[in-house]
Amino acid sequence: MKIEVQSLSTSTVNSFLICPEQFWLDKIEKEPKCQQSANLVNGVAMHAAAESWFRSRQYKVPMTLETLVRVYRITWDQLESVRPVVYDGKSREEIEANAVMLLELLMKEDVGEVVGVEVPVKYRLSSDLDFIGRIDLVTRDSDDQLVLWDLKTTARRYSDDDFRKVCEQLVLYRGALAEPAHIKVMTLVKTKAPVIESHRLVPSYLNVNEAELVERFRMVKRSIEVGVHFKNRGWQCNGCGFIHVCNADRRNNEIELHFRRAA
């Protein structure tokens, strides 16, 4: 199989770095997923509701909390209709109750003037590779300065390492712009008493180097094209849609699946 990679997004590169085997099964072999984690589904549903809220701000269309919750629920239902959701300790009702509190807090956040939501980005990283992606939110602050935002749903407050990973993505987004911009991350923290935190990111403080990021993209491109893929066991296995493939042993020409029994 000849593979030619012409463009990459940050999420695609991170997916490959987290687990090349998971990436290969998903993007190259198109293996059907057997499941999806509740955390992932919740994150996608929260993102859909947040997108609706910020678009209402952009076009100055009133929107209620009830409408945002409906967007959240519809998104969850759509995802769950595709494949089973795996829960890790909390029920859907508990997860949703926390999400509603976060959405209520989100509606009180002052992000400035909203000028763009889910803004597509594409530009040339090198002679044979394009960078592609979507900026979650673009605003202008009180000083008329452009601000690029990334929205993250998380179970805990971010560390410097977490901020560095977001900063890398936003630095590449900023590379497509014709004017300077601040970069910020908004974390929707799913603690028992939910909080929303906004942080301005400084690449030099977080040791983010754009040239190194470009080289990382180019190395991932080469790795994919030559067929590099191996299993990287770790936290990412929890709720992975391909766990049935990785846990399969071929014996006597049959596939025997091994599942961990509940204690």
| CATH number, residue 204 | 3.90.320.10
Predicted confidence at residue 9, as pLDDT, reads: 97
**Residue 229 falls inside a structural domain:** no
Reduced to 3 states (helix: H, G, I; strand: E, B; else coil), residue 111 is coil
Low-confidence ranges of the chain (pLDDT < 70): 249-263
Predicted confidence at residue 246, as pLDDT, reads: 85
Joined together, the tokens standing for residue 249 give 């042993």
Domain that holds residue 213: 113-222
Among 69, 87, 106, residue at a domain's last position = 106
**Residue 71 falls inside a structural domain:** yes
| Residues 146, 57 share a domain | no
DSSP state at residue 238: T
CA distance 73 to 180: 37
Find out whether 239 and 37 touch, Cβ atoms under 8 Å. Answer: yes
Q: How many domains does the chain have?
A: 2
**Residue 87 falls inside a structural domain:** yes
Predicted confidence at residue 53, as pLDDT, reads: 98
Could you tell me if residue 252 is left (phi over 0), alpha (psi between -120 and 50 degrees) or otherwise beta? left
| Residues 59, 139 share a domain | no
| Residues 96, 122 share a domain | no
Predicted confidence at residue 248, as pLDDT, reads: 77
The Cα angle at residue 82 between residues 80 and 87, in degrees rounded to 5: 35
| Residues 119, 28 share a domain | no
Using the structure block, give the residue that is written with the tokens 């049959």: 254
